[in-house]
Structure 1
Amino acid sequence: MNRFALLSLYRSLTRHKLYATLNVGGLAVGIAVFLVLGLYARFETSYEKWLPRHDRVYVAQTVWNLPESPFNGAYPYTMGGLLEQLREDFPGVVGTRIRGGRNGGTVIRGGVATSADIAQVDASFFDVFDLPMVRGSGSALRQPANVLISETLARRYFGTSDPIGQTLTIAVDKAVNYRVAGVFRDLPANSDFRISVLVPLPAAPPSEQWFHWGSSSLQTFLRFDTPQAARAFEQKLPPFVDRRGLADMGKDASRIQQIKLLPLTRMHLEPAGSESASAKITVVTLAIVGLLTLLVAIVNYVNLATARANVRAREVAMRKVLGADRLALVRQFLGEAVLTVGVAALLGLILAELSLPLVNAAGGLSLTIPYALVVPALMALTLVVGLLAGFYPALLLSRYPAASVLASARSPGGGRVGTRVREGLVVLQFGLAIAFMVGTAVLVAQTRHVRQSDLGFQREGLMMLLSTRDSLVGADRTRMIAAAIRELPSVRSAAIGNNAAGGSGEDNADNVPLPGVAGDGPSLRWIITGPDFFKVYGARVLAGRVFDAAHRDDDALARDMASGINIVINRQAVSTLGFRSPQEAIGKTVGGKRPRTIIGVVEDMRFFSPRQPNSATYYVYYSQPEKAFTAVVSIRYTGDPRVTMDALRTIWQRSVPQVPFEAATADTQLTKFYEADDRATRLFAIGAGLAVLIGCVGLWGLASYNTQMRIREIGIRKTLGASSADIARLLVGQFLRPVLLANLVAWPLAFVAMRTWLTGFDDHVALSPLFFIGGTAAATVIAVLTVLGQSLRASRAAPAWALRHE
């Protein structure tokens, strides 16, 4: 472009300031949304890529395939002894294990216990993970008395003094004094590893399940030099599982449980079944929202540029008379488009920077703009978007014949074809806008539904003491603490179990053989309960009775499994076990060689994520439930939860001061299941709202242009007797036609997208036609309000002025 072309662009923009504001502003908002949501998608897909040689590390997944099991799917956890068995069968395999992590243990210093992100790892940890060290070496983990800590932890406990050689008391399974032998850099936010302390795994297995196939106690990571080597090794794993799992899972164990290798960088979004599948869908959805918002902004630019083409028709004609050919004009207008997009991109970058604090607050994120990456990408985006957005307007403007334009009393407007193109662009804009509105309504309705749905127990007035899960507490102290809690004035009842609301304890399942049915039977989740467990949760009894201390046969601790135990099942288990009704199940015995007699049926109690399918469950009764491997105290209280929480803290600090106090209400525990979807809903709503705003800007600009082009027609109509209301209805009706046609684009798009998203929930709202009708109604109202001002102003023009108007 030469300086005359630049001067022409400057005059065009400054003479029509409103048009320039709408055009550049719409593009800037679209680019800002695209940048912010692109940063979010980039952050979510960058997990573990900060690690050197991350492309060589794989996580061993346990893949379950059990009939009707709540645990079917792939999980990034294995039994504790998997790596040892792999090394025995495949000498030379390079791997390590991580046990613990987030709140994985306790640091005791000065008599004060503090929860910390403690992980037990193999001495080979640094053969797989190259954590950047500040002081010391990763080889220090080969000494069982050494510990490595993060920079933050080093400053917290040692200030500015040298931490090397200092002593820390760390409790995982038991309290042990360790020598600080090194300091590693803090792990970044884009990591699933929450580790601030690394201690060696104990030489002796910490649990009986260490070598039991079917258990999951830690994460196992393997390193391979190439992807081909990893795939070749994975082919050897089914025979390995059949051979090693024979004793625990029988013949052809690999049909029940498989070991698969997943690249480390895919671990954040892919394993763990529906949970990470939903995270992946969320990331993809928000990335698509960013792209579609940018598309709406580009369409808005094209629409406004073509609608205003008549303003520059005489300029084009004069340039042709002075010798400019069509190619030169195309180059000029494409250059103008690129420059306009460049200005919009700069404003979009500013808007993105200003909006990031609000987006981070709304989404619970910590996004920042990496300018070294964003600026070159933005320059490339400017070129691509400028060429895409300016191509059609450039062709339209450059084709005007000079003679006819200069001879005409008025400039061309593109004719019927131009009108149809502009209406088609409005249809596309509002089609996406309506789809966004429908999607936002569905997301809001679903997130509200899962928060308010019946979980099968009374979540209000329910609190869990979680600190008793720590192995340092022990059964005797747990029983003593539970007794003290029951004496509190605000506590109505308290019970111990190995699980609680929010999935706060163990998660176990086993197969239940059915009488007269071949095979191992369906897999059911099982939960240990103690006295008053169902009373605390307010469970609804559908048939039979629940456990009672007066019935000695209920106590599984006093019974031999071979002679049988009593169980209570939930509603879901009734059909899973083949019964037609809860009443029919009462008194029946299932379980084959481990008989289980059903004494009661309760309503389903959903302790876990709403994205997990509601699973068939049976409950076992322990008269001393504190002897379970994991014990959680569930408490039914009245009054202010802070009063009860303070009383619990006092009891705890008096009883077990060396273990950090941890308690939460049921609402707090359940909220963690909703956080990701709430964040996605907020970000989606922000993107959708801005996309709708851009669409309104485009419609307003088009209405302004069309109204101006029809001034004389309006004057003639009023001269012939049309009232202002008639004119307003005519104009509004014509502007609404493309908005209503947009539903042909919006409804199928929204239906497919929302149906896919809702399938991630076991309990979800129906995809009601009201969502689609409501989105259309909202778009119609917005469109009417957008063009009504232009229509009323045009309808009130005096006929004499309108007929003289040029």
Structure 2
Amino acid sequence: MLYNYLKLAYRNLLRQKFYTAINVVGLTLGITCCLLIFLFVQNELSYDKFHAQGDRIYRVLRVGNMNGDKTKIPYVSGPYAPALLTDFPSDVKAAVRVMSTNALFSYQDKTFKEERVFITDPEFLTMFSFPLVQGDPRQALADPDNVVISQAIAQKYFGSENPMGKLLTLDKNQTCKVAGVVANVPDNSHLKFDFVFSIKDYESQEWFQRWNNNSMFTYVLLEEKTNPENLLAQFPAFMEKHRGSETKKEGQNMTLELQPLHAIHLDTNTQFDFAEQGNKSNVYIFSAIAVFILLIACINFMNLASARSAGRAKEVGVRKVLGAYKQHLISQFLSESTLLTFIAVALSLGLIILILPYFNTFAEKHLAIPFTNPWLYVFLVGVALGVGLLAGSYPAFFLSSFEPVKVLRGRLASSAGHPLLRKALVVSQFSLSIFLMIGTVVIFRQMDYVQNKNLGFSKEHVITIPLDNEEIYSRSRAFINRLQQLPDVQSVSVMSGEPGGFHDRYVFNVIDKPNETWSFRTAFSDENYLPTLGIKLIAGRNFSKSFATDSVAAILLNETAVKNLGWTPQEAIGKEFVDPSHWAEQQAPRRRKVTGVVQDFHFSSLKETIEPLVIAMRPDRRLVAIRLAAGNPKSSLAAIEKVFNQTAPKYPFQYTFLDESFGKLYKSEQKQAQILAVFSVLAISIACLGLLGLASYTTQQRRKEIGIRKVLGASVSNVVTLLSQDFLKLVLLANILAWPLAWWAMHKWLQDFTYRVELSALIFIVAGVMALLIAIVTVSFQALKVAVANPVNALRDE
């Protein structure tokens, strides 16, 4: 019986080649989009799921709450891990610290600057499931001079040689021995590394023993029977025991939280996190897009099948007279739709194999089709059956319900299915398409806004060079002096962080406001900070070498800090602050006076409000910012590189343009906008395919009517207007339905940005007009074919 159903389905599909092609192309595009998004979502949700003990591994977060400002920071200091093991022996099975750094590695004539270097506890290789292909994970990091490298690094440095026991030169002055080779870290890991060293050499250093630095991730492996909630309840007492006096002095209510390993990638509530993070909103957005596009493709099928129901009415009537039951007819029509979707799924799989490399390049992902995963085939069969049953359900039940007597008398011939349902389906299709179009336009407008908004500083013609190795760090003053002598260099400043980068948070006491503590973001720099970044001074004066005490007794505030303190810019001048008690270089609390107030500038992403900022002259040399003269940047960079090579000859010259660095803050949203634009075009294309098929069928059904109208004097434009207006009314209705939904969704999305564009009515009107124009072109193409045809041919059969 099933074989007969499939054979008849195959014949019927071949008989209607045009409509079959439209359905196959539409379903293939829809299922391809759905599968691509499935791979993306599956990849995002799979981060860190490969660790055997992953459900018991947590990252320790330090949570501060001061004046209602709650922050979650994933960094703690060295003493936390041993203290957690000591204080909670029955709950914490293991604790591992991870510091990320970079270093210069050499082997024979090969030298490379490596960025993915971890310094960690030896238990790192047993807590996490990063399998060693060579070496013993329990012994590989027992010796502080050992290093574990990835397979990619082994190939890069040693080629076909056995890397075990080989000596690598670290920073040109010390050697380390390869004691293990770890399999390349999967892409879906938030911890990505190529080198792993033991942390033992650092444990005796004074800075490592301080509780108040933010230097490393700390992970704990809980015992199997441990309830994390019970452990969380004990953390306030733990913090009171180890840091109570310090946090009270700083006016902070500080505790710890446990972040599940599986949640790290999609949790964007942590600050200053170097771990690669995704976006939970993107997962929801693209999942919804997949459903939308698949629905549009299904609607195409349902629309065409119901429209063509009159053409198959007599077939149903004859088969019923010959003894066919309703369930037989339903099975027949569902077989047709399911066969069609299986064909579309097969074509989609082939199409994905072809386009996936290009999609990965475009989306900057490393997605792969998991052919060895049985769930892939479950998903494919599920999509085929689900889409087949969904798309074929209405036509199957509608056609099988025809009464044979009425059908054979021709009473259903003119109905062509329920026109109201077909109109509702067309409206649904275009509503979804218009929704995607509006979303694309809004996201692109917001991205253009953040790229071109006045940030309060000048990011053009500024490059930054990290002071991330001992050679350049120790010679930074000589490096700056040489740079200042270059003709194309206008200004040079050494600082703790550039706008868009990392800015510490410290707590200050204000002399005029006793018994209060104030939290400020901080930037440490020199007298060239303002001119190098083009920041405007609105009151007082900048730091100056003419005032010898500025280096230890002066600060600048931004407008927001002054406003929060209840002062005007002029009133702030001369006000005194007390340095944070744990600034390392001071012997006793030191007072600093406000010498100037700067205009607010966006030192963080536009997703965040401008916070109170203190700018202080204090040694914290993390990078150098250089303002270049407008002109030829290549010659300027060549001159700067020459100075760098003279200063730090062991290390490669690396730099970043500040405007490019700031633009990376919105890289995820920009990529999201581009991908959304592609899927929007595909959604519109699929909707137009359905409209094309429906318009073709409708115009064919009205050929005789059009012939009579032309004989009676109707012009071609009259006929085209007649055939198009019904469809255009549906698209107008689709706009009315799509606009409120699109406004709500985009309003929610824009809430992630503190500074954002307005949802202008023009955006909705443009999207609506575009949809109308696309529909006009699609429908007019078919209408014009019928309108210019000879009416004699249409009336000949009468």
In structure 2, how many angstroms separate the alpha carbons of the residues matched to 1:221 and 1:362?
Answer: 34
In structure 1, how many angstroms separate the alpha carbons of the residues matched to 2:506 and 2:290?
Answer: 45
Three-state SS of the structure 2 residue aligned to 1:161 is coil
In structure 1, how many angstroms separate the alpha carbons of the residues matched to 2:97 and 2:194?
Answer: 13
1:568 counterpart residue number: 556
1:79 counterpart residue number: 77
2:680 counterpart residue number: 688
Q: Deviations over 1:139-186 (max 9, x none)?
A: 221222222111122222223222222222335xx9542222111111
1:388 counterpart residue number: 390
Using the TM superposition, give the Cα deviation of residue 426 of structure 1 relative to its aligned residue in structure 2, in angstroms: 0.8
1:265 counterpart residue number: 262
Alignment check: 8 A CA contact 1:316 1:398 kept: yes
Q: Mean Cα displacement is larger for which, 488-497 or 601-610?
A: 601-610
Using the TM superposition, give the Cα deviation of residue 745 of structure 1 relative to its aligned residue in structure 2, in angstroms: 2.9
Q: Deviations over 1:306-333 (max 9, x none)?
A: 1122222121111111110111100111
Aligned partner letter, 2:381: M
2:127 counterpart residue number: 128
Using the TM superposition, give the Cα deviation of residue 439 of structure 1 relative to its aligned residue in structure 2, in angstroms: 0.5
1:52 counterpart residue number: 52
2:9 counterpart residue number: 9
Task: Evaluate the alpha carbon distance shift between residue 248 and residue 406 of structure 1 in structure 2; reply closer, same or farther with a 3 A threshold.
Answer: same
Residue 304 of structure 2 corresponds to residue 304 of structure 1 = yes
Alignment check: 8 A CA contact 1:450 1:610 kept: yes
In structure 2, how many angstroms separate the alpha carbons of the residues matched to 1:244 and 1:205?
Answer: 18
2:666 to 644, 654, 674: 674
Alignment check: 8 A CA contact 1:711 1:805 kept: no
Three-state SS of the structure 2 residue aligned to 1:141 is coil
In structure 1, how many angstroms separate the alpha carbons of the residues matched to 2:506 and 2:12?
Answer: 75
Aligned partner letter, 1:370: P
1:151-300 alignment, distance < 5 Å: 151-171=151-171, 176-205=174-203, 210-213=208-211, 215-226=213-224, 229-250=227-248, 256-273=253-270, 279-300=279-300
Q: Mean Cα displacement is larger for which, 437-446 or 203-212?
A: 203-212
In structure 2, how many angstroms separate the alpha carbons of the residues matched to 1:454 and 1:227?
Answer: 54
Aligned partner letter, 2:127: V
1:89 to 87, 90, 94: 87
Three-state SS of the structure 2 residue aligned to 1:245 is helix
In structure 1, how many angstroms separate the alpha carbons of the residues matched to 2:797 and 2:515?
Answer: 88
1:604 counterpart residue number: 600
1:525-564 alignment, distance < 5 Å: 525-556=521-552
Task: Evaluate the alpha carbon distance shift between residue 613 and residue 109 of structure 1 in structure 2; reply closer, same or farther with a 3 A threshold.
Answer: farther
Using the TM superposition, give the Cα deviation of residue 215 of structure 1 relative to its aligned residue in structure 2, in angstroms: 3.4
Q: Mean Cα displacement is larger for which, 215-224 or 324-333?
A: 215-224
Residue 657 of structure 2 corresponds to residue 665 of structure 1 = yes
In structure 2, how many angstroms separate the alpha carbons of the residues matched to 1:207 and 1:683?
Answer: 49
1:698-737 alignment, distance < 5 Å: 698-718=690-710, 721-737=713-729
In structure 1, how many angstroms separate the alpha carbons of the residues matched to 2:128 and 2:716?
Answer: 75
In structure 2, how many angstroms separate the alpha carbons of the residues matched to 1:216 and 1:805?
Answer: 87
Computed over aligned residues only, the root mean square deviation of the Cα atoms, in angstroms, reads 2.6
In structure 1, how many angstroms separate the alpha carbons of the residues matched to 2:78 and 2:728?
Answer: 65
Alignment check: 8 A CA contact 2:338 2:388 kept: yes
Q: Mean Cα displacement is larger for which, 104-113 or 127-136?
A: 104-113
Q: Report sequence identity in percent.
A: 33
1:793 counterpart residue number: 785
Using the TM superposition, give the Cα deviation of residue 606 of structure 1 relative to its aligned residue in structure 2, in angstroms: 2.7
Three-state SS of the structure 1 residue aligned to 2:140 is helix
Three-state SS of the structure 2 residue aligned to 1:236 is helix
In structure 2, how many angstroms separate the alpha carbons of the residues matched to 1:396 and 1:150?
Answer: 61
Three-state SS of the structure 1 residue aligned to 2:162 is coil
Task: Evaluate the alpha carbon distance shift between residue 690 and residue 455 of structure 1 in structure 2; reply closer, same or farther with a 3 A threshold.
Answer: same
Alignment check: 8 A CA contact 1:491 1:635 kept: yes
Aligned partner letter, 1:263: P
1:408 counterpart residue number: 410
Q: Mean Cα displacement is larger for which, 595-604 or 24-33?
A: 595-604
Alignment check: 8 A CA contact 2:265 2:278 kept: no
Alignment check: 8 A CA contact 1:94 1:128 kept: no
Using the TM superposition, give the Cα deviation of residue 34 of structure 1 relative to its aligned residue in structure 2, in angstroms: 0.4
1:414-453 alignment, distance < 5 Å: 414=416, 418-453=418-453
In structure 2, how many angstroms separate the alpha carbons of the residues matched to 1:600 and 1:778?
Answer: 53
In structure 2, how many angstroms separate the alpha carbons of the residues matched to 1:741 and 1:783?
Answer: 13
1:342-357 alignment, distance < 5 Å: 342-357=342-357
Aligned partner letter, 1:327: Q
1:482 to 473, 480, 483: 480
Task: Evaluate the alpha carbon distance shift between residue 252 and residue 621 of structure 1 in structure 2; reply closer, same or farther with a 3 A threshold.
Answer: closer
Using the TM superposition, give the Cα deviation of residue 718 of structure 1 relative to its aligned residue in structure 2, in angstroms: 4.3
2:565 to 556, 567, 577: 577
Three-state SS of the structure 1 residue aligned to 2:743 is helix
Task: Evaluate the alpha carbon distance shift between residue 207 and residue 770 of structure 1 in structure 2; reply closer, same or farther with a 3 A threshold.
Answer: farther
Between 1 and 2, higher relative CO (CA 8 Å, sep ≥ 6) is seen in: 1
In structure 2, how many angstroms separate the alpha carbons of the residues matched to 1:304 and 1:74?
Answer: 54
Task: Evaluate the alpha carbon distance shift between residue 68 and residue 550 of structure 1 in structure 2; reply closer, same or farther with a 3 A threshold.
Answer: farther
Aligned partner letter, 2:215: S
Q: Deviations over 1:183-240 (max 9, x none)?
A: 1111011112121111111344477554555532110111124485333322321221
In structure 2, how many angstroms separate the alpha carbons of the residues matched to 1:435 and 1:219?
Answer: 42
Alignment check: 8 A CA contact 1:338 1:383 kept: yes
Aligned partner letter, 1:47: Y
Alignment check: 8 A CA contact 1:537 1:636 kept: no
Alignment check: 8 A CA contact 1:614 1:762 kept: no
In structure 1, how many angstroms separate the alpha carbons of the residues matched to 2:516 and 2:240?
Answer: 17
Q: Mean Cα displacement is larger for which, 6-15 or 333-342?
A: 6-15
Three-state SS of the structure 2 residue aligned to 1:780 is helix
In structure 1, how many angstroms separate the alpha carbons of the residues matched to 2:388 and 2:142?
Answer: 59
Using the TM superposition, give the Cα deviation of residue 66 of structure 1 relative to its aligned residue in structure 2, in angstroms: 2.9
Using the TM superposition, give the Cα deviation of residue 443 of structure 1 relative to its aligned residue in structure 2, in angstroms: 1.2
Aligned partner letter, 2:729: R
In structure 1, how many angstroms separate the alpha carbons of the residues matched to 2:797 and 2:510?
Answer: 89
Number of residues of Structure 1 aligned to a counterpart in Structure 2: 781
Aligned partner letter, 1:575: K
Three-state SS of the structure 1 residue aligned to 2:229 is helix
Task: Evaluate the alpha carbon distance shift between residue 713 and residue 259 of structure 1 in structure 2; reply closer, same or farther with a 3 A threshold.
Answer: same
In structure 2, how many angstroms separate the alpha carbons of the residues matched to 1:328 and 1:740?
Answer: 40
Using the TM superposition, give the Cα deviation of residue 535 of structure 1 relative to its aligned residue in structure 2, in angstroms: 1.1
Alignment check: 8 A CA contact 1:95 1:220 kept: no
Three-state SS of the structure 1 residue aligned to 2:438 is helix
**TM score, norm. by length of structure 2:** 0.92
Task: Evaluate the alpha carbon distance shift between residue 650 and residue 168 of structure 1 in structure 2; reply closer, same or farther with a 3 A threshold.
Answer: same
1:559 counterpart residue number: none
Q: Deviations over 1:365-423 (max 9, x none)?
A: 221211233233101211111111111110111111112222218724345xx111011
In structure 2, how many angstroms separate the alpha carbons of the residues matched to 1:537 and 1:328?
Answer: 77
Alignment check: 8 A CA contact 2:6 2:339 kept: no
1:399 counterpart residue number: 401
Alignment check: 8 A CA contact 2:104 2:114 kept: yes
Aligned partner letter, 1:573: A
Q: Deviations over 1:663-701 (max 9, x none)?
A: 121133223223222221121111111111111111112
In structure 1, how many angstroms separate the alpha carbons of the residues matched to 2:415 and 2:510?
Answer: 78
Alignment check: 8 A CA contact 2:495 2:621 kept: no
Alignment check: 8 A CA contact 1:572 1:604 kept: yes
* Long gaps (5+) in structure 2: 580-588
Using the TM superposition, give the Cα deviation of residue 594 of structure 1 relative to its aligned residue in structure 2, in angstroms: 5.7
**TM score, norm. by length of structure 1:** 0.91
Task: Evaluate the alpha carbon distance shift between residue 312 and residue 669 of structure 1 in structure 2; reply closer, same or farther with a 3 A threshold.
Answer: same
Residue 507 of structure 2 corresponds to residue 511 of structure 1 = yes
In structure 1, how many angstroms separate the alpha carbons of the residues matched to 2:226 and 2:728?
Answer: 58
2:585 counterpart residue number: none
Alignment check: 8 A CA contact 2:9 2:332 kept: no
